[in-house]
Amino acid sequence: MNKFLKQSGVILGLLLIMAGAAPAQTNATQSLTLAECVAIALEHNLALQIEKLSSRSAQEDVRAALGGYDPQLTLSAQRAHTEIEGKPAEDDELLVGSGSDTDRDTYEAAIRGATALGGLSYEVGTKLGRNEGTRSGNPFDTSTGSAGVTLTQPLLKGFTTDATRYQVTLARKLSTEALVQLETAMANTIHDVEVAWFGLVQALESIAVQEEALRLATQLYEDNRNKVQIGAMSILDEKQAESQAAAARADLSAAKQAYAEAQNRLKLLVFADHRQTATTTIAPVGELVSEPVMTDVAASSAQALEQRPELRQARLALARQDVVVAYQRDQTRPALNLVGNAGVAANDERDSSGVFRQLESANEPYWSAGITLAIPLGNRAAQARHEQSRLTADKMKLQLRQLEEQVLVEVDNAANAVAAGYERLQATRDARDYARQALLAEQRKLERGKSTSFVVLQLQRNLTAARNAAVQALMDYNKQCANLALAEGATLARYHITFAPPPPEK
């Protein structure tokens, strides 16, 4: 793998030359490091864009919930007409009165709303009215008016929490959870990009391995053919070498197909428009990790329990459920409300302008105060919802514990995989070197006539398999390191990405 950069350039050049056989296609090469791929994916990945929109939608839910505190202006106008006939006396047929004929106009304006001050609600309004008509044959025209404020303060149900405060609190907590969920999606996307980038490097290196295998098999076939022509070797040896060369060509074609698929996997994660990048070839640039990574299961486990976004989201969800439990508990209480109002009134039998003057002078104040009590009889529905919310909270606590156990096992497995992966990497490299040395030695023996073509072909296959195993081991080791970072909740930190914490709740 220390020749990775040189081999990558050679193989990419060959691929571009072959792709250039179709003159209608223009294939551009974009050299990208893993960090650059991650940066582009964080900007353009479609799944992340969807998650970002979901987070913004959750923030709008907070604004919508706060709308419950927006005051409401109510305007009304009403006209009513009533007629009352006179009633006859019991001992004669004479009417006690001639009745009345009344037209009543009423105009009202009020602003109503709720506050976060212990569930206090208010109403500020004014009312104007005019009654005109005849009563007992006498005309009358009376104007009335009032202006005042009414306050309602819950003392039991609705004091610690009410519907508006409950919805605002839930919306804020859900918005925070959406941000953590976005952080989870970012970490998963980065990990997917890492795996796809490693896969592209592996596919590119596999092409180099198969190119070398084809070269060795072709060279041996040509040597055997020349020896057959001079009668120094049997035709069987020639056909065996030719067969292995053909198999190497097939393996090279399969490696190229795997490379094309690896290109598409990475481009799907990094870019947002396949039609624009279909003819773009990503050239991976950079060295892969081949040094030992020290692992500490205890430290990694502690870090995971603190930083894993899935765990933080589960804890936030449990805290949100506690809010639900408190609200449902509040709904089981009686409604005891303190109600008070105060204002001024006016009455004028001459004209409506006198009403305004009297309201301004406040010569006729009024006030009232009282308590209303509403006790639900049975209240089974509220009690059942409270019990359900409490049971849901208990279930979520167990699910959190279950998730913590899963995380600890994931960290343990990931740390062990890193340690085992490095050992496997070293072993496969040794096996590759030994296979190369064995092939060179057997080739020298074949040149001296002390070996057979069949043995050399077998050692060529062994070398190709050992090279592929070494490539696979290096890719797996890098993936295992990425898996450990994901299990620890340190994927963002690996790329020095700071996820902005959610704003404090108000």
Pairing of strands 72-84, 28-33: unpaired
Look at residue 352 in the predicted model and tell me its pLDDT: 62
DSSP H helices in 331-379 = 352-361
Phi, psi angle pair for 171, to nearest 5°: -65, -40
Joined together, the tokens standing for residue 441 give 């030695």
DSSP string, 291-307: S-----HHHHHHHHHHH
Residue pLDDT, tens place only, 20-53: 433 334 568 899 999 999 999 999 999 999 999 9
422 versus 99: which is more confidently predicted? 422
**360, pLDDT greater than 60:** yes
Going by C-beta distance under 8 Å and a sequence separation of 6 or more, which residues neighbour residue 355?
A: 128, 143, 144, 145, 346, 347, 348
47 membership: H or E segment, kind and range: helix 46-66
Contact 188, 50 (CB under 8 A): no
Per-residue pLDDT averaged across 397-405, rounded?
97
Look at residue 286 in the predicted model and tell me its pLDDT: 86
CA atoms within 13 A on the CB side of 185: 21
Residue pLDDT, tens place only, 327-351: 999 999 999 999 999 988 887 766 6
Q: Going along 269-378, which residue ranges are E strands?
A: 280-285, 335-348, 365-374
Residue pLDDT, tens place only, 464-498: 999 999 999 999 999 999 999 999 999 999 898 88
Going by C-beta distance under 8 Å and a sequence separation of 6 or more, which residues neighbour residue 94?
A: 88
Number of C-beta neighbours around residue 136 at 10 A? 12
73 membership: H or E segment, kind and range: strand 72-84
Look at residue 48 in the predicted model and tell me its pLDDT: 92
Look at residue 254 in the predicted model and tell me its pLDDT: 95
Map out the domains of the chain with their CATH numbers: 4-12+29-63+167-321+391-494 (1.20.1600.10), 120-154+338-374 (2.20.200)
Per-residue pLDDT averaged across 230-234, rounded?
81
Look at residue 448 in the predicted model and tell me its pLDDT: 85
Confidence of residue 206 (pLDDT cuts 50, 70, 90): very high
* 149: β partners: 124, 342
Confidence of residue 90 (pLDDT cuts 50, 70, 90): low
Lowest mean pLDDT among 235-239, 269-273, 295-299: 235-239
CA atoms within 13 A on the CB side of 6: 3
Three-state SS for 340?
A: strand
**Based on the number of CB atoms within 10 Å of its own CB, is 317 exposed (0-12), middle (13-18) or buried (19 or more)?**
middle
Going by C-beta distance under 8 Å and a sequence separation of 6 or more, which residues neighbour residue 30?
A: 280, 281, 282, 283
Q: At what angle do helices 309-330 and 380-447 cross, to 10 degrees?
A: 170
